[in-house]
Homo-oligomer: A and B are copies of this chain.
Amino acid sequence: MDQATITLSVELSYQGAPFHGFARQEGLDTVQGCVEDALQVLFRRPVETVCAGRTDAGVHARGQVVSFELDACEVEARGLPAIARSLNALTPPSIGIRGIQERPAGFSARFDAQSREYRYFLSTQPVPPLVMRDFCWHMPGELDIAAMNHAAAYLIGEHDFKSFCLAASAQGKSTTRCVLELTVDPVEIAGDELVCMRVVGTAFLHSMVRTMAGTLAMVGRGLREPSWVQQVLQARTREAAGQTAPAQGLVFWKVEY
């Protein structure tokens, strides 16, 4: 007899530094490993999880979403708030379970995401910012933000982003993605001036956001003209783009369903 199952999702934030990325890898500290271990302790059986975006080692998350299925009786026995509290207690302090909700049957945090938002923070001040020190790419010097926005405009819309994808991950798969919004703005955070690249898209390739940040940074530095970004897109090879910006400046910000 089939037991009724209930699909849940949790929203979680985490600091990137303590983890070898989101995806479970045996013998390494990963976010998925911590969450699944906590679920196993709580429900005394393995529970598989699916996430909205597999973040790399060192990348932070403010609003990662993870979905999983439980038996109806497992949910009813505890209630959602208690499950969230228990997961918080059973995961390391660098992971925060911010919310939990029931989803329609068959919901997937990955496949049902309508859009994903990432933010990449740069600090151009001579010394690193106080609070954001471990959440930015510290690159002292001037950045031409208008030029970066000009360049960013070429990346908005549906394009083949093969040049912005880690080469090994691009093999034999479609590298076409749709960028809905991409802006670069000065922001003040806890008394420090930073630059924030905000990008919203339906989905992203491996290292795509960090390669965009590294590429736009070259334009901001005046090393390339904004229109160069169009050539980078057309080249369809990773070598054409700028560097992969450091992981610690990237925050997986939000997912819309």
Contacts and interface: CB of A to CB of B under 8 A. Distances in A.
Interface string A237-256: 00000000000000101000
Contacts of A163: none
Interface stretch (A24-32, A45-53, A122-130, A214-222): A122-130
Contact of A128 (B93, B133, B191): B93
Given A189-B190, A191-B253, A253-B191, A62 B132 contact: no
B251 A130 contact: yes
Interface in A154-199: 189-192
Nearest to A60: B130
Contacts of A190: 62, 131-132, 135, 189-190, 251
Nearest to A99: B126
Contacts of A131: 131-132, 135, 189-190
How large, as a class, is the contact surface on chain A?
20 to 34
A226 interface: no
A131 B190 CA distance: 10
A62 B191 contact: yes
A192 B97 CA distance: 14
B128 A96 contact: yes
Copies of the chain in the assembly: 2
A91 to B, nearest CB: 10
A149 to B, nearest CB: 21
Contacts of A211: none
A15 B93 contact: no
A202 interface: no
Contacts of A13: 127, 130
A246 to B, nearest CB: 15
Nearest to A121: B190
Nearest to A188: B189
Contacts of A88: 126-127
A98 interface: yes
Contacts of A60: 130
